[in-house]
Structure 1
Amino acid sequence: MSTNFDEKENQDGCLSKLESNKVGEVITEDQLHRDFKPRHVMMFSIACSIGTGLVIGSGSALTAGGPGSLFLAYALVGIAVFFVMTSIGEMAAYLPMSKGFSGYGTRMVDPAFGFATGWNYFFKYLIAAPTNLTAAGLVVQYWRPDLNVAIWIAVFGIAVVSVNVLPVKNFGETEFWLGMIKVVVMFTVIIVCLVIALGGGPNHYRSGFSYWDPNAFKEYLVNGDKGRLLGWWACMCQACFAYTGTEVVGMTFGETPNPRKNIPKAVKQTFWRIGSFYVIGVLVLGMAVPSDDPRLLGATEASTSAAASPFVVAIRNAGISVLPDIINASLLVFTISAASSDIYCASRTLYSLAKDGQAPRIFAKTLDSGIPAWSVVASAVFIGLGFLNASKSTSVVFTYLVSLVTIFAVLNWVAILVSYLHFRRAVKAQSVPLNTMPYIGALQPYGAWYALFVSLLVIVFNGYDSFVHSFSATTFVLKYLGTALFVTNIGWWKLYRRTSYLKPKEVDLITVDITAQD
């Protein structure tokens, strides 16, 4: 099959018109505009992966497993996430699609698998938005504990929805500068923690690796080796939440000019991002603050404000009095930016599902600016989940939402990896030379198998704590609800649409629905 396109570029080098007269995606109306600039994509891929999971959630993991378990878990999950990203990069470079991850699931595996993947991704970001807005409200309580968190959920919710109805180039510019703030803050706190560990703080205490002995691998929930194993596993599960959002760059496919060039470029930055922000970050954190610090233990159990951040605890212990307020203000930027990108991802996923006939067609409608307005509105409605705080403790609701987000996120990784492995099988079966592919990920496809193994382990055993001491039905449901929904969606769509599993030689590796510019 061949595809003929009529292209016209505007002065930004972005595709302004794309029409197909035979096969592929027909772009006439109700289409996303390719107005993301390369620097927007680069920063979006970096900024979306830096959030409360790293800056705050790492504290709970440190107290549960100790610095050794924390470092090992972040390194192992980080390697898995890197292979998830290179899997996206290979598929996007060879067959760029505007339908995101669900499109690859449909095209490489089975339409039912694509359906389940798209809705899982949508569910994930529906939950992530109120999670981050709840965190934003808790951050403000650092200064104003007298005001209810629900007030800030409403205020910040209106703000992030407003940003999402801007033309995508304006949205990209906003996220670019918010992302720059995130990067600067993370580099700052990592350097400060390193200086503190080397004795450069006001207290001049050189801790080095002294906090690793004897608590590098702590016991958790039970005593002995089993307790140390559970401590490490608690760090593994928390690391998955911390890395959530790393794959978000895949949602920009439909609004990125020259995706064959720019998406792999953004993906390649993942290795350095994981190494610098995550692995080095938790390494210096374990050097700068003890895992049994009373401030750390009290803060992580109570809230998600700056008081809960292990980086802030390290700074306070060193006798630095100015930085906590600055870090807290930065955390507010982190959470609001994350909530904004959550609405973006949810709306684009719903739009893609509607374009594929897997959601009501109204959600495929766009404004003249290319914004899928109805999808944005539908995604914004679920911000109301944050108001559950009115009847439950804010920290309890936050924990519930985090549990749901984590399992949805790991299921997303599984869907990407399964689609990629089927893609590689199809490439081999159809005798496509690897040297003709625009981008080949390092150590692939073996890395994808490793990442799939780690992801499946987390999915199966993430609910371990619901069985320790006494069975917790609430914890069990929260930890396995996402998996049940994913499997159910595959099953009922297969029955409803009578879809067929695609054999390697049946996979379409020819039709192109986005023109890649050289």
Structure 2
Amino acid sequence: MIENQDDHHVNVDFDERNVVAETNENFDLKRGLQARHLTMIAIGGTIGTGLFLGSGASIAQAGPGGALISYLVIGVMVFFMMSSLGEMATYLPISGSFNTYAKRFVDPALGFALGWNYWYSWATTIALEITAGAIVMQFWFPDVPSWVWSLILLFIMLSLNLFSVKGYGEAEYWFAMIKVITVILFIFVGILLDIGAIGKPKEYIGSKNFDHGTFHNGFKGLLSVFLVAGFSFQGTELVGIAAGESARPEKNVPKAIKQVFWRILLFYVLAILVVGLLVAYDNPNLLGNSQDVSVSPFTLAFKLTGFVSASHFMNAVILTTVLSAGNSALYAASRVLYNLALEGQAPQILTRVTKNGVPLLSLLVTAFIGCLAFLMSLYGEGKVYIWLINLSGVSGFIQWAGISFIHWRFRRAYVAQERPLEELAYRAKLYPFGPIFACTLTILVILGQGYSAFTSENGVDAQAVVAAYIGPPVFIALFLVYKFVKKTKIVPLLECDFDTGRRKLEEKVVLDIEEETKFWGKISKALF
């Protein structure tokens, strides 16, 4: 929102070449996120129930070796995608940036489709998380209706987002900290159990669980875990969403990207390795109900140490995970919707923000849509709700492919306009291999994620095929409708806009960096 200093009327210019990013001081979004916030936002966005509950199922499907390879390959792909995003986000730090980058460097129709695709993905995720939260709470309070807990959790998430972006960052920081400490503790305990240092009875387990079923189910198992690993890593791109509200994007964003990749890869790969060492791939516990905390590999490991309250401990951690995921979903979706409104691709009224820099109406609209999706979940296994879940999940992969492709065009246009590479505060690694590899692999995952629907024992499962592939047609429809209505064209390389909203080095505001010298800043910097 831009306020005219002469007449105090709202006047937002939606001209394609003159969209002013949130970096302009007239905008009300606040740069309140420090480096530690960005790092933990990205880490917290990926460490969730997929690791705490789903890691065992991954080993059951592909064996310990297959699961390790799948997570390693997807982790490398995510690194290249994040590297591409980092180059653009440090040069043009804009909140909810994906649709703006697509509009400037590819085609406004692609920006429209990516923006609404990403907004929908996170808005639906809110419903999924509050539903999961209700299941977690019923572990302790089985007689309380699930909708009561869902409303309470939604209220908590909304409250955390209403105060300020710094409030969101602090909440996400501590949520992520709990998850990271739990993973580190699990890896440490798992190694001690494996070498026989602790446990009842104490025995040396070693690598005997790798001696059989290392690559269970062959290629089919490997592919199935590819998909699970991809879904597990979704959320890392939140660094790009938050760049526009980072105090020092040219420094904090690259730092977050570098730290996040190695730490997440380390956490996931080591956790998968430890699970594979402790529990055989054919252990019936790994094949249990994915919503049952008692069969989580983490719970099993802690129980082996004699920790009788392991289930309660893990349930509390998973509740934190749900709050973290829902908190991030509401934040990301509201910023994307706000940016769509700035670009003239959503109602202009959604650009209104509070004095604390919160896009209030975008936040409330997103929460409302999340509630509607939640109401559909009350029908249990309804077809429409299953389709919504699949549409939400696949949209994350579509977004990754879009980011990689946009960056390929970004760099080509940058070079075509003879701009010096030295002006890039952060350069993507192994360009052009990086974005091409990430984009190609992501598309293959999108195409292959319905593989099992074609290979079921009863032939082709038509309903499963529709549920798996409903996402891409919706995205293509958004793109084509906008392109037809607005008659947009691919932006020529020499006409790509690199200047609007850019913060030049000599114009950067002197920012308060005392945060890094505070006690918790030092602790997080040392550990993470």
**What TM-score, normalized by structure 2, do the two folds share?**
0.87
CA contact (8 A) 2:96 2:332 kept: no
- What is the distance in 1 between the residues matched to 2:282 and 2:19? 58
Equivalent residues in 2 for 1:180-329 (5 A)? 180-199=177-196, 200-219=198-217, 228-300=218-290, 304-317=291-304, 319-329=306-316
CA contact (8 A) 1:74 1:239 kept: yes
Aligned to 1:93: 90
Q: Post-superposition shift, 1:478?
A: 2.2
2:330 paired with 1:343: yes
Q: CA RMSD in A?
A: 2.3
* 1:385-437 C-alpha deviation (Å, 9 max, x unpaired): 2333432259x999766533321111110110011000111122222333342
- What is the distance in 2 between the residues matched to 1:111 and 1:51? 34
Secondary structure, counterpart of 1:96 in structure 2: coil
CA contact (8 A) 2:109 2:488 kept: yes
Aligned to 1:391: 379
* 1:299-323 C-alpha deviation (Å, 9 max, x unpaired): 33xxx24224222233335554233
- What is the distance in 2 between the residues matched to 1:397 and 1:383? 15
2:64 paired with 1:75: no
- What is the distance in 2 between the residues matched to 1:386 and 1:186? 30
2:496 paired with 1:507: yes
Q: Which amino acid aligns with 1:504?
A: L
Secondary structure, counterpart of 2:78 in structure 1: helix
Aligned to 2:60: 63
CA contact (8 A) 1:25 1:513 kept: no
Change (3 A) 1:443 1:509: same
Counterpart among 22, 47, 51 of residue 54 in structure 1? 51
Which blocks of at least 5 consecutive residues in structure 1 are unaligned? 1-21, 220-227
* 1:69-128 C-alpha deviation (Å, 9 max, x unpaired): 111110000000011111111112223333411111111111111111111110110121
- What is the distance in 2 between the residues matched to 1:24 and 1:405? 29
CA contact (8 A) 2:58 2:225 kept: yes
- What is the distance in 2 between the residues matched to 1:46 and 1:405? 20
Change (3 A) 1:402 1:25: same
Equivalent residues in 2 for 1:434-449 (5 A)? 434-449=421-436
CA contact (8 A) 1:134 1:398 kept: no
Q: Post-superposition shift, 1:511?
A: 3.1
CA contact (8 A) 1:142 1:305 kept: no
CA contact (8 A) 2:454 2:461 kept: yes
Q: Post-superposition shift, 1:514?
A: 4.5
Aligned to 1:476: 465
Q: Which amino acid aligns with 2:271?
A: G
CA contact (8 A) 1:203 1:318 kept: no
Counterpart among 20, 27, 44 of residue 25 in structure 1? 20
2:42 paired with 1:45: yes
CA contact (8 A) 1:30 1:364 kept: no
Q: Which amino acid aligns with 2:475?
A: F
Aligned to 1:16: none
Change (3 A) 1:83 1:381: same
- What is the distance in 1 between the residues matched to 2:182 and 2:431? 33
CA contact (8 A) 2:136 2:315 kept: yes
Aligned to 1:333: 320
Q: Post-superposition shift, 1:515?
A: 5.7
- What is the distance in 2 between the residues matched to 1:67 and 1:107? 44
Aligned to 1:224: none
Counterpart among 121, 137, 140 of residue 118 in structure 2? 121
Aligned to 1:178: 175
Total equivalences in the alignment: 485
Q: Post-superposition shift, 1:281?
A: 1.6
CA contact (8 A) 1:112 1:491 kept: yes
Counterpart among 450, 453, 462 of residue 440 in structure 2? 453
Q: Name whichever of 245-254 and 60-69 sits farther off.
A: 60-69
Equivalent residues in 2 for 1:98-177 (5 A)? 98-177=95-174
Aligned to 1:223: none
- What is the distance in 1 between the residues matched to 2:229 and 2:148? 30
**What TM-score, normalized by structure 1, do the two folds share?**
0.88
Q: Post-superposition shift, 1:239?
A: 0.5
CA contact (8 A) 1:203 1:319 kept: no
Change (3 A) 1:397 1:483: closer
Change (3 A) 1:260 1:506: same
Q: Name whichever of 86-95 and 412-421 sits farther off.
A: 86-95
Q: Name whichever of 102-111 and 203-212 sits farther off.
A: 203-212
- What is the distance in 1 between the residues matched to 2:278 and 2:388? 29
Q: Which amino acid aligns with 1:64?
A: Q
* 1:359-397 C-alpha deviation (Å, 9 max, x unpaired): 111211112221111111111113332333432259x99
Q: Which amino acid aligns with 1:259?
A: P
Q: Post-superposition shift, 1:39?
A: 2.3
Change (3 A) 1:264 1:123: same
- What is the distance in 2 between the residues matched to 1:512 and 1:382? 30
- What is the distance in 1 between the residues matched to 2:463 and 2:411? 40
2:482 paired with 1:493: yes
Q: Post-superposition shift, 1:357?
A: 0.4
Q: Name whichever of 480-489 and 320-329 sits farther off.
A: 320-329
- What is the distance in 2 between the residues matched to 1:388 and 1:359? 25
Q: Post-superposition shift, 1:510?
A: 3.1
* 1:109-153 C-alpha deviation (Å, 9 max, x unpaired): 111111111111101101211112222222223223344433221
Percentage of pairs with the same residue: 35
Q: Name whichever of 67-76 and 425-434 sits farther off.
A: 425-434
Q: Name whichever of 134-143 and 456-465 sits farther off.
A: 134-143
- What is the distance in 1 between the residues matched to 2:193 and 2:392? 33
Q: Which amino acid aligns with 2:486?
A: R
- What is the distance in 2 between the residues matched to 1:180 and 1:404? 30
- What is the distance in 2 between the residues matched to 1:498 and 1:376? 30
CA contact (8 A) 2:340 2:346 kept: yes
- What is the distance in 2 between the residues matched to 1:382 and 1:434? 42
Aligned to 1:378: 365
Q: Post-superposition shift, 1:293?
A: 1.6
Q: Post-superposition shift, 1:252?
A: 0.8
- What is the distance in 1 between the residues matched to 2:444 and 2:203? 40
